[in-house]
Amino acid sequence: MQALSRPFPGSGSYLVRTRPSSNRVGPNRIIVKCAYGFESPAFPLGVGSNRADWQSSCAILASKVTQEQSPTQKHDGSADHVAAVNGHKAAVTELVPIGNLGSSDNNKPLPPKPLTISDLAPAPMHGSQLRVAYQGVPGAYSEAAAGKAYPNCEAIPCDQFEVAFQAVELWISDRAVLPVENSLGGSIHRNYDLLLRHRLHIVGEVQLPVHHCLLALPGVRKEFLTRVISHPQALAQCENTLTKMGLKVAREAVDDTAGAAEFVATNNLRDTAAIASARAAELYGMQVLADGIQDDPSNVTRFVMLAREPIIPRTDRPFKTSIVFAHDKGMSVLFKVLSAFAFRNISLTKIESRPHRNRPIRLVDDANVGTAKHFEYMFYVDFEASMAEVRAQNALAEVQEFTSFLRVLGSYPMDMTPWSPSSCLRED
């Protein structure tokens, strides 16, 4: 591939440095020519007027070189077939064998054909070909949530929640799907703290019914078990059922449910069972000793979808907006903040308080009673309105008057998927 540098000051030409390619077609080597520059008569090899055209040409030409290695090539070294880009056929510029570079009358290589808009493949549809990060290993409930949020996506497992955030920030993945609350276990505080620490935006939510199973290696019977391992919340959600089953086992916590199943299978632990999903049993070759062992059938986990850029809020469907704020005057201001939503008939779906990390203690000096110490809090609020609505904009404008810090985490479509405890599908 040619390396291209910018022109020297006062010069209308580009400095081009070539490197021989290792791809061969017959006896000749193929050199790929691609350049980036503005339209200029002084630069006849330009293939576009902006960086996007240059990047597109590089991708298409690279695809061309790969296809030149197929056995169906012409014996004369020409390259006049059509390359496939993102599954679509697109015309590409011709590749000139090194041996033919001097065959023209002026001993100059032929300029590549400029790309047009028809050469570019359409952008992927919503949810297709996306890389989605989640915490856990294959078979985790977070993986099922990622598949529900973005069907046909490429799920990328991460060992920690913060790694999933970083995967999106570093462009390793396009989205992240992470849990924020469970109907039985409550809020997942770690992810609320990470939402404030990182600059990602909430672009959607998905609610996933949780269906726990008791898994063991094939041939193992329940009476031979001595311990059960799983995520701490999964163990708590199945505590009563395990007791009713008469299992005298020790409970041990691990990082995630699917990881517990993987651990039992990898180490061939025949005295240990895991609480995980039915999909985890299929992936790791385990048998289901008991199905649906959660104490409450209405066990649902809410996940949020995170992206580098926010989506455009709309008013043609139900939207939810998530914010976080702090104030300097203690809890007395909270009533004024909440009244900004009540006066505009905006329903709150969640309010969560977390200690202020940078300023955890607030001192109040009173000559009569002395000095008092109070915790400072950050408040996370979800309300049912889109930022495209005037009432939501006015409410936040009023909230900003009473707060020292206000940030919109995202305005996104609500998950309106119907479900009932009796008909919960095992999506895990």
The structural domains of the chain, ordered by start, are 3-119 (no CATH), 131-209+301-413 (3.40.190.10), 213-293 (3.40.190.10)
What is the number of other CB atoms lying within 10 angstroms of the CB of residue 344? 16
* CA-CA-CA-CA torsion sign (21, 23, 28, 32): negative
Contacts of 108 (CB under 8 A, 6+ apart): none
In terms of C-beta distances under 8 Å and separation of at least 24 residues, what long-range contacts does 17-23 make, across chains too? 20/98, 21/65, 23/65, 23/68, 23/69
H or E segment and range at residue 262: helix 257-267
Catalytic residue among 93, 165, 241, 303: 303
Looking at residue 354, what is its pLDDT?
85
Report phi then psi at 242, rounded to 5. -65, -35
Instruction: Pick the catalytic residue from 93, 241, 257, 301.
Output: 301
Contact indicator for 331, 215 with CB cutoff of 8 Å: no
Contact at 8 Å (CB) between 238 and 251?
Answer: no
* Residue corresponding to tokens 């699917």: 258
Q: Decide: 109 and 96 in contact? Cβ < 8 Å.
A: yes
Question: Would you state the pLDDT for residue 404?
Answer: 86
- 323: closest CA among 372, 247, 395? 395
At 270, list the tokens. 């025949």
The sheet with strand 377-383 has its strands ordered as: 348-355, 377-383, 319-326, 405-413
For position 358, what pLDDT does the model report? Answer: 62
d(CA 208, CA 361): 37
- 349 classed as catalytic: no
Spatial contact of 191 and 176, defined as CB atoms under 8 Å apart: no
In 311-412, alpha helices (H): 332-342, 390-402
Residue-level pLDDT at 334? 85
Give the three-state DSSP class for 99: helix
- Please give the pLDDT value at position 56: 53
Where b means 16+ CB within 10 Å and e means fewer, 34-55 reads bbbbeeeeebebbbbeeeebbe
Q: How many CB atoms lie within 10 A of CB 338?
A: 16
C-alpha to C-alpha distance for 209 and 301, rounded to whole angstroms: 6
Q: What is the pLDDT along the chain (428 residues), one digit of tens a residue?
A: 444 444 444 444 434 444 444 444 444 444 334 433 334 343 444 444 455 554 555 554 444 444 444 444 444 444 444 444 334 444 444 444 444 444 445 555 555 554 443 444 344 455 447 899 999 999 999 999 999 999 989 999 998 999 999 999 999 999 999 999 998 888 999 999 999 999 999 999 999 999 999 999 999 999 899 999 999 989 999 999 999 998 889 999 998 899 999 999 999 999 999 999 999 999 999 999 999 999 888 889 999 999 999 999 999 999 999 999 987 665 567 888 899 999 999 999 999 988 876 654 554 445 554 444 556 788 999 999 999 999 999 999 999 998 888 999 999 999 887 755 534 444 43
CB 177 within 8 A of CB 134: yes
- Whether 165 sits among the annotated catalytic residues: the reply is no
Packed helices 257-267 and 141-149: angle between N→C axes, nearest 10 degrees: 130
Spatial contact of 30 and 24, defined as CB atoms under 8 Å apart: yes
Tokens of 245: 């089953």
Tell me the C-alpha distance between 198 and 193, whole Å.
9
**Which amino acid makes up residue 355?**
P
Residues constituting the chain: 428
Contact assessment for residue 15 and residue 9, using Cβ atoms and an 8 Å cutoff: no
Identify residue 305 by its one-letter amino acid code: M
Place of tokens 């570079």: 101
Q: Which of 196, 197, 195, 204 is nearest to 175 (CA)?
A: 204
In whole angstroms, what is the distance from residue 218 CA to residue 42 CA? 74
Residues 6+ apart with CB under 8 A from 10: none
Q: How far apart are CA 234 and CA 255, in angstroms?
A: 11
Residue 24: other Cβ atoms inside 10 A: 13
Q: Extract the tokens encoding 335.
A: 């009533």
Are the C-beta atoms of residues 259 and 160 closer than 8 Å to each other?
Answer: no
